[in-house]
């Protein structure tokens, strides 16, 4: 058994109205040698006044973050400042159970894991959905004392839904998927070894999963069911959070280039799902399969399956004048823009995969390529995955995105030695995969000042089929200070002409308009743009998914 270990509790907070309740439940159970570090991110003056009162206590330190909105940066401030053996990260909207710190201390002293995940109750609700779902209309009043908190902890409606995943030891290698730093711990020396949180993740979401993944490379992560905390409900824009989270997951895919993040980018990943995919990969590596054997050509991509020959998969591609490049993925998520390639050639060995995986590869190929072909390999091997592969686990990571799970979503047309792949079902969802590149903050500030648009009211015209519109709106309202008083989605299925009366209605708006398009230069040559040139409004704005923003010069 180790000697007594002390805990550094690191709370990050930004305008959390109940931050004092969070702090009090921590402080009341700290030992004399524990410490509490509060990192405040530009809260209002009244909240800062409340926080400053705690500085009178010896083992509490308040730090004001010099950057705004970077959760990784704020946690690193606290993590590197801390000098105890155990780091406990919690958010300012969490309340600890009465003996949570002792539960955590015992685990770190007596068990072999180097990090632990706490049980977070009532974690996903905002105020009114929580009241409607549970029937509890005064939740915050309920949790102000221990007896009230006890009732919530024991209420099955608020149980941590991750608990079932942690019960199965076979999932232990993938616990990092649920390492959410609203409430979790790590040894200080491990924190320093993995160099803390990656501060490149500036948006909301997944920065803690990235941290957990790197911890898992150093040692085991455990789950403590009685190391418990309650979440205080607050307003949240789930769609905006989804875009930010998805964008960060795609960053992890580019960073690590391993199948785990390819799967995570497509599906609501759980340890059970990862265990399924891990099992599939193991079986595929035992099978010898012929690769694609055709003459390579430019602007094309070639997708081979995982096999004895290619244990990590093999996807090669040619762009313009470049030499062949290879990535080692399944093919479920590839880091290319829509329609990057002229052709995608896929081995018919993908049908050795479970159907949901084969469909995912076909769908991604249709997104990144203008033409998709199945190449015959001559292999007749197929596997009945049966009950080994649980298709119910494969829910889309991005809730606005339809993930194909049925081979009947696709049409196969005979073309000489190949089969061309088409899909009416997926034809109207191709753009949903686009992740917006938001305008640079400095450029946005300069644009706002130059064009005097601060405080103006706008109507927002979404011409990208929901592909990142909410993230752009949130940015404009937060950073530019404009007001979006109307949000109109104009779905452009297969570039069909828009009804004339709709054009006239939007064109005649007296308010200035913001148009969100895929590519501003391409959009300027369309009939839609030409029609709107007749508006002659000096405050209309054009934004595209590559981060360009400009006033429309009618």
Show pLDDT as tens, one digit a residue, over the chain (554 residues): 567 899 999 999 999 989 999 999 999 999 999 999 999 998 999 999 999 999 889 899 999 999 888 899 999 999 999 999 999 999 999 999 999 999 999 999 999 999 999 988 887 777 777 788 788 888 888 888 888 888 888 888 888 878 877 877 777 889 999 898 778 999 999 999 999 999 998 877 789 999 999 999 999 999 998 899 988 887 766 667 777 888 888 889 999 999 999 999 888 878 888 889 999 999 999 999 999 888 888 899 999 999 999 999 999 999 876 678 899 999 999 988 888 999 999 999 999 999 999 999 999 999 999 999 999 998 889 999 987 788 778 887 766 678 888 999 999 999 888 999 998 776 533 434 445 567 777 788 888 888 888 888 888 888 776 556 777 887 788 777 888 888 877 655 444 444 444 556 677 778 888 888 877 776 666 666 666 666 767 888 888 877 888 888 76
Name the token pair of 533. Answer: 């040139």
Per-residue confidence (pLDDT) for residue 524, from 0 to 100: 67
Which residue segment(s) compose the domain that 224 sits in?
A: 7-236
- Choose the final residue of a domain: 396, 414, 432: 432
Same domain for 150 and 11, yes or no, is: yes
- φ, ψ at 138 (rounded to 5°): -130, 60
Same domain for 209 and 194, yes or no, is: yes
Same domain for 422 and 442, yes or no, is: no
- φ, ψ at 271 (rounded to 5°): -55, -35
Residue 254 resides in a domain:
no
Residue 338 resides in a domain:
yes
Write out 41-85 in H/E/C secondary structure.
Answer: CCCCHHHHHHHHHHHHCCCEEEEECCCCCCHHHHHHHHHHHCCCC
Contact (Cβ atoms closer than 8 angstroms) between residue 385 and residue 316: no
With b meaning 16 or more CB within 10 Å and e meaning fewer, what string describes 382-404?
eeebeeebeeebbeebbeebebb
Domain count, the chain: 3
Residue 261 resides in a domain:
no
What CATH number did the domain enclosing 13 receive?
3.90.550.10
Same domain for 80 and 149, yes or no, is: yes
Residue 247 resides in a domain:
no
What are the angstrom distances between the C-alpha of 96 and each of 11, 29, 113, 215, 230?
12, 9, 21, 24, 6
Q: In terms of C-beta density within 10 A (0-12 exposed, 13-18 middle, 19 or more buried), how is residue 154 classed?
A: exposed
Same domain for 362 and 495, yes or no, is: no
Residue 40 resides in a domain:
yes
Per-residue confidence (pLDDT) for residue 498, from 0 to 100: 46
Q: How far apart are the C-alpha atoms of 233 and 94, rounded to whole Å?
A: 9
Same domain for 316 and 427, yes or no, is: yes
Same domain for 445 and 496, yes or no, is: yes
What CATH number did the domain enclosing 518 receive?
3.40.50
Sequence-ordered strand ranges (E) for 94-177:
94-96, 115-121
Q: How far apart are the C-alpha atoms of 200 and 123, rounded to whole Å?
A: 25
Residue 410 resides in a domain:
yes
Same domain for 119 and 225, yes or no, is: yes
Same domain for 301 and 448, yes or no, is: no
- Sequential DSSP letters for 479-545: II--EEEEEEE---GGGPPPPHHHHHHHHT-SS-EEEEES-HHHHTTSHHHHHHTTS--TT-EEEET
Sheet with 7-13, strands from edge to edge, namely 60-64, 35-40, 7-13, 86-91, 183-187, 115-121, 221-231, 94-96
Same domain for 188 and 278, yes or no, is: no
Same domain for 191 and 57, yes or no, is: yes
Name the token pair of 183. Answer: 């409430």
Name the token pair of 499. Answer: 């009804």
What are the angstrom distances between the C-alpha of 269 and each of 125, 158, 163?
20, 21, 15
Q: pTM for this structure? A: 0.75
Residue 246 resides in a domain:
no
297 has which bridge partners? Answer: none
Per-residue confidence (pLDDT) for residue 382, from 0 to 100: 93
Per-residue confidence (pLDDT) for residue 238, from 0 to 100: 67
Give the containing element (helix H, strand E) for 128: helix 127-134
Name the token pair of 20. Answer: 């004092």
Same domain for 422 and 447, yes or no, is: no
Per-residue confidence (pLDDT) for residue 34, from 0 to 100: 97
Residue 544 resides in a domain:
yes
- Choose the final residue of a domain: 399, 432, 465: 432
DSSP symbol at 182: T
- Choose the final residue of a domain: 381, 414, 432: 432
């Amino acid at each position: 058994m180790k000697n007594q270990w002390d805990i550094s509790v690191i709370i990050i907070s930004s305008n959390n109205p109940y931050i004092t309740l969070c702090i009090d439940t921590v402080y009341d159970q700290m030992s004399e040698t524990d410490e509490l570090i509060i990192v405040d991110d530009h809260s209002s003056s009244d909240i800062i006044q409340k926080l400053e009162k705690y500085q009178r206590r010896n083992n509490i330190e308040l730090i004001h973050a010099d950057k705004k909105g970077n959760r990784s940066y704020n946690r690193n401030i606290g993590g590197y400042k801390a000098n105890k053996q155990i780091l406990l990260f919690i958010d300012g909207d969490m309340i600890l159970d009465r003996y949570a710190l002792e539960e955590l201390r015992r685990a770190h002293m007596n068990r072999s894991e180097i990090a632990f995940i706490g049980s977070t109750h009532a974690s996903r609700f905002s105020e009114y959905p929580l009241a409607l779902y549970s029937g509890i209309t005064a939740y915050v009043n309920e949790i102000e004392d221990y007896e009230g908190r006890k009732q919530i902890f024991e209420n099955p409606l608020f149980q941590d839904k991750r608990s079932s995943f942690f019960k199965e030891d076979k999932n232990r290698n993938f616990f990092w998927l649920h390492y959410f730093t609203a409430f979790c711990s790590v040894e200080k020396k491990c924190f320093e070894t993995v160099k803390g949180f990656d501060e490149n993740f500036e948006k909301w979401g997944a920065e803690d999963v990235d941290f957990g993944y790197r911890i898992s490379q150093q040692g085991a992560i455990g789950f403590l069911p009685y190391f418990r905390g309650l979440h205080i409900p607050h307003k949240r824009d789930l769609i905006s959070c989804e875009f930010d989270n998805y964008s960060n997951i795609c960053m992890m895919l580019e960073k690590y280039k391993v199948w785990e993040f390819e799967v995570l980018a497509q599906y609501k990943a759980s340890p059970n799902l990862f265990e399924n995919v891990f099992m599939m990969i193991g079986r595929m590596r035992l099978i010898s399969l012929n690769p694609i054997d055709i003459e390579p050509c430019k602007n094309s991509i070639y997708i081979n399956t995982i096999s004895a020959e290619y244990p990590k998969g093999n996807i090669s591609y040619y762009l313009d004048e470049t030499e062949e490049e290879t990535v080692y993925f399944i093919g479920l998520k590839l880091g290319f823009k829509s329609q990057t390639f002229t052709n995608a050639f896929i081995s018919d060995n993908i049908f050795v995969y479970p159907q949901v995986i084969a469909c995912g590869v076909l769908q991604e190929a249709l997104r990144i390529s203008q033409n998709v072909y199945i190449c015959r390999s001559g292999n007749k091997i197929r596997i009945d995955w049966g009950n080994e592969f649980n298709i119910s686990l494969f829910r889309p990571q991005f809730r606005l995105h339809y993930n194909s799970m049925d081979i009947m979503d696709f049409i196969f047309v005979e073309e000489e030695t190949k089969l061309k792949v088409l899909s009416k079902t997926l034809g109207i969802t191709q753009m949903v995969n686009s992740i917006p590149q938001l305008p640079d903050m400095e450029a946005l500030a300069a644009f706002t000042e130059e064009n005097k648009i601060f405080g103006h009211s706008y109507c927002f015209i979404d011409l990208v089929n929901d592909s990142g519109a909410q993230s752009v709106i949130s940015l404009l309202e937060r950073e530019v200070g404009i007001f979006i008083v109307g949000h109109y989605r104009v779905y452009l299925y297969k570039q069909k002409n828009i009804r004339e009366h709709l054009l006239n209605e939007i064109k005649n708006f007296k308010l200035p308009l913001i148009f969100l398009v895929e590519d501003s230069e391409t959009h300027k040559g369309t009939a839609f743009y030409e029609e709107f040139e007749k508006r002659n409004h000096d405050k209309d704005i054009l934004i595209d998914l590559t981060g360009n923003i400009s006033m429309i010069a009618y």
